[in-house]
Amino acid sequence: MSLTAPAPSALDPQRRRRADRARQVADVLRRQVLHGLVSDGALPSESDLAVDFGVSRNTVREALDLLRDEGLVDRVPGVGTRVTCGKYLHGLDHLRGLAETLSGAGRVRNEVRVSGLVPAPGPVARRLDLQPGDPVVYLERRRLADDVPLSLDLTYVVRDLGEHLLGEDLAGRDVFALLESISGRSLGEAEVTLEAVVADAHSAAILEVAPRSPLLMLERLTHLDDGRPVDLEFIRFRGDRITMRGTVRRASPKEATA
Amino acid sequence: MSLTAPAPSALDPQRRRRADRARQVADVLRRQVLHGLVSDGALPSESDLAVDFGVSRNTVREALDLLRDEGLVDRVPGVGTRVTCGKYLHGLDHLRGLAETLSGAGRVRNEVRVSGLVPAPGPVARRLDLQPGDPVVYLERRRLADDVPLSLDLTYVVRDLGEHLLGEDLAGRDVFALLESISGRSLGEAEVTLEAVVADAHSAAILEVAPRSPLLMLERLTHLDDGRPVDLEFIRFRGDRITMRGTVRRASPKEATA
């Protein structure tokens, strides 16, 4: 990413001060919106917010503009600021499939774009403890919650389990639940990485967002409870539809350096 | 976020197929790049990659373009594809400050933009178990690793601990380490949320990225080991500089529904 000169307005001290305060207000309000903590889906009035945060009404308006640009609220002249957030909370504490983690919050449906056997490219084979070129099952699915696209999932599954997947209800069920029923074992642990990336034009079209929209990119290597790696996934979540939520604990100094 | 019609090229079946395959190749290569798994910082040649992935060289080129657009690689005609990734791996498994988690990977420096007492807005007060308007210490810091901006951190700390922070070396040390030394206690657990958001113009200028670049937004409420909430943070990480990494375990059905 190339460095960019700050926009001129960002250098004007007064505007800068207001923008800093607007960000501060927006960040605090963001959680209220995400967690449905505002009563009747309406934010307090601009003047109440100005008093609560000790800022001007102009600053409050700029803060609400930031949240509107993220698709979290809508501002209706004469009515006020309404929550329009379509974000789902996705648990990070336990290894769970999408339908499991959204349970109760949204109806998940999967469109299978590709499914079948492919030779494993070298890096995929190494992570699944296979030889390069060994056949693996490859799945590509667009996943929707309440009929709005949520993610695009690319999945590699070891052949002995994956071949059984192909006959299952991939449109209606999570791969995790199917893998446990096919293998007769529980899943164990998964290595995950999370990044914020920009949507390329083609991924944006599939996810029905504007090109260069922010995506939450999840890579996950999942093992059975006997430690065998069986499932490698690359998932692009729409940034405006998913919030990851979890709990992190402080390690003892010894653990922290482990 | 409004829905957008797919770009015309995305509808051409042949281009669509190639774009799907390019994404598939790019996702697998992404991890090699992020984790420094390529030898001497150079990716294999286009023709080797084409063989390994069973795709055309045009598809490989399109995959490398995707990684280049994310700032992960650079393509030098006649030389090949070099890793230019400036991403740091940030641990998700334990609660750690930035300098702690990047230990050894980069030198962290903090620019303190704002520090002082402010009246807690209602939602901040509630999370820190205070009354609205109670004074809290507010810090705003730009954090750099190896002199490149990495994050913009907005932090609220309870007054009794926060006031001592103000006299400490905030430019050189993590707030977490300082809170433990001031309180004489360990930190306990933290509630975190992670989202991919777009950079507004002002945040982009501070972080030295183009407006509308993807940011990884972390909200974190940290408790002492006696359960008292003491530190509420809102952190914008540059998407092109941070990858979160952790391990997730499958819960027993009982835990999963808890």
The model's pLDDT over B157-176, given as tens digits with 9 standing for 90+, comes to 999 999 999 999 999 999 99
- Within this chain, do residues A75 and A192 fall inside the same structural domain, yes or no? no
pLDDT at A124 over 80: yes
Q: What is the mean pLDDT of residues A152-157?
A: 97
Mean pLDDT of chain A: 90
**Please, what's the b/e burial string for B230-250 (b: 16 or more CB within 10 A of its CB; e: otherwise)?**
bbbbbbbbbbbbbbbbbebeb
The C-alpha angle B64, B65, B68, rounded to 5 degrees, equals 85
Kindly report, residue by residue over B44-74, the tens digit of the pLDDT: 999 999 999 999 999 999 999 999 988 899 9
CA distance A78 to chain B (A): 23
CA distance A210 to chain B (A): 5
Question: By C-alpha distance, which of A201, A240, A209 is closest to A88?
Answer: A240
Q: Does B54 contact A213 at a Cβ distance shorter than 8 Å?
A: no
- Within this chain, do residues A164 and A37 fall inside the same structural domain, yes or no? no
**pLDDT number for residue A222:** 97
* DSSP letter (8 states) at residue B209: S
C-alpha B175/C-alpha B97 separation (Å) is: 7
Confidence of residue A208 (pLDDT cuts 50, 70, 90): very high
Q: Is residue A78 part of a domain?
A: yes
Two tokens at A147?
Answer: 């009929």
pLDDT at B3 over 90: no
Mean pLDDT of chain B: 90
Q: How many CB pairs under 8 A join A and B?
A: 285
Q: Which residue, chain included where needed, has tokens 């810090």?
A: B139
CA distance B167 to chain A (A): 23
pLDDT at A31 over 70: yes
Cβ distance A139 to A159 under 8 Å?
no
- Within this chain, do residues A31 and A94 fall inside the same structural domain, yes or no? no
Q: Does A94 contact B255 at a Cβ distance shorter than 8 Å?
A: yes
**pLDDT number for residue B229:** 98
Q: Does B10 contact A201 at a Cβ distance shorter than 8 Å?
A: yes
Q: Is residue B254 part of a domain?
A: no
Smallest CA–CA distance from A208 into chain B, residue? B3
Q: What is the mean pLDDT of residues B176-194?
A: 96
Contacting residues of B for A242, CB less than 8 Å apart: 195
Q: Does A195 contact B225 at a Cβ distance shorter than 8 Å?
A: no
C-alpha A239/C-alpha A213 separation (Å) is: 8
pLDDT at A34 over 90: no
C-alpha A250/C-alpha B105 separation (Å) is: 20
Smallest CA–CA distance from B134 into chain A, residue? A52
Question: By C-alpha distance, which of A47, A52, A46, A51 is closest to A67?
Answer: A46
C-alpha A154/C-alpha A162 separation (Å) is: 13
pTM, to two decimals: 0.91
Contacting residues of A for B147, CB less than 8 Å apart: none
CA distance A26 to chain B (A): 10
Question: By C-alpha distance, which of B238, B210, B232, B100 is closest to B162?
Answer: B232
- Within this chain, do residues B51 and B105 fall inside the same structural domain, yes or no? no
Question: By C-alpha distance, which of A216, A236, A213 is closest to A143?
Answer: A236
C-alpha A41/C-alpha A43 separation (Å) is: 7
Of A27, A57, A83, the residue that ends a domain is: A83
Least confident of A3-17, A127-141, A160-174, B135-149: A3-17
Contacting residues of A for B188, CB less than 8 Å apart: 249-250
**pLDDT number for residue B149:** 96
- Within this chain, do residues B77 and B92 fall inside the same structural domain, yes or no? no
**What CATH number should be reported for the domain holding residue A50?**
1.10.10.10
Q: Is residue A3 part of a domain?
A: no
Contacting residues of B for A238, CB less than 8 Å apart: 1
Q: Which residue, chain included where needed, has tokens 């657009």?
A: B69
Q: Which residue, chain included where needed, has tokens 């004074």?
A: B135
- Within this chain, do residues A174 and A61 fall inside the same structural domain, yes or no? no
C-alpha B239/C-alpha B258 separation (Å) is: 33
Q: Does B195 contact A239 at a Cβ distance shorter than 8 Å?
A: yes
Is the interface score ipTM higher than 0.85?
Answer: yes
**pLDDT number for residue B39:** 77
- Within this chain, do residues B192 and B176 fall inside the same structural domain, yes or no? yes
Cβ distance B236 to B217 under 8 Å?
yes
Which structural domain range is residue B78 located in?
10-83
Contacting residues of B for A192, CB less than 8 Å apart: 92, 245-248
The total of structural domains in chain B comes to: 2
- Within this chain, do residues A68 and A99 fall inside the same structural domain, yes or no? no
C-alpha B32/C-alpha A136 separation (Å) is: 20
Contacting residues of A for B213, CB less than 8 Å apart: 1, 198
Kindly report, residue by residue over B125-136, the tens digit of the pLDDT: 999 999 999 999
Q: Is residue A24 part of a domain?
A: yes
Q: What is the mean pLDDT of residues B136-153?
A: 95
- Within this chain, do residues A161 and A222 fall inside the same structural domain, yes or no? yes
Instruction: Kindly tell me the burial class for residue B92, based on how many C-beta atoms sit within 10 Å of its own C-beta (0-12, 13-18, 19 or more).
Output: buried
Contacting residues of A for B120, CB less than 8 Å apart: none
> How many helices and strands (H and E) does chain B possess?
9, 10
Distances (CA, A) of A230 to A137, A176, B63: 10, 10, 25
**pLDDT number for residue B11:** 56
From the list A31, A202, A213, the residue facing B219 with the nearest CB is: A31
Question: By C-alpha distance, which of B156, B173, B143 is closest to B116?
Answer: B156
Q: How many other C-beta atoms are found inside a 10 Å radius of the C-beta of residue A44?
A: 18
Q: Does A122 contact B66 at a Cβ distance shorter than 8 Å?
A: no
- Within this chain, do residues B153 and B226 fall inside the same structural domain, yes or no? yes
Cβ distance A229 to A240 under 8 Å?
no
pLDDT at B206 over 90: yes
**What CATH number should be reported for the domain holding residue B185?**
3.40.1410.10
Smallest CA–CA distance from A132 into chain B, residue? B52
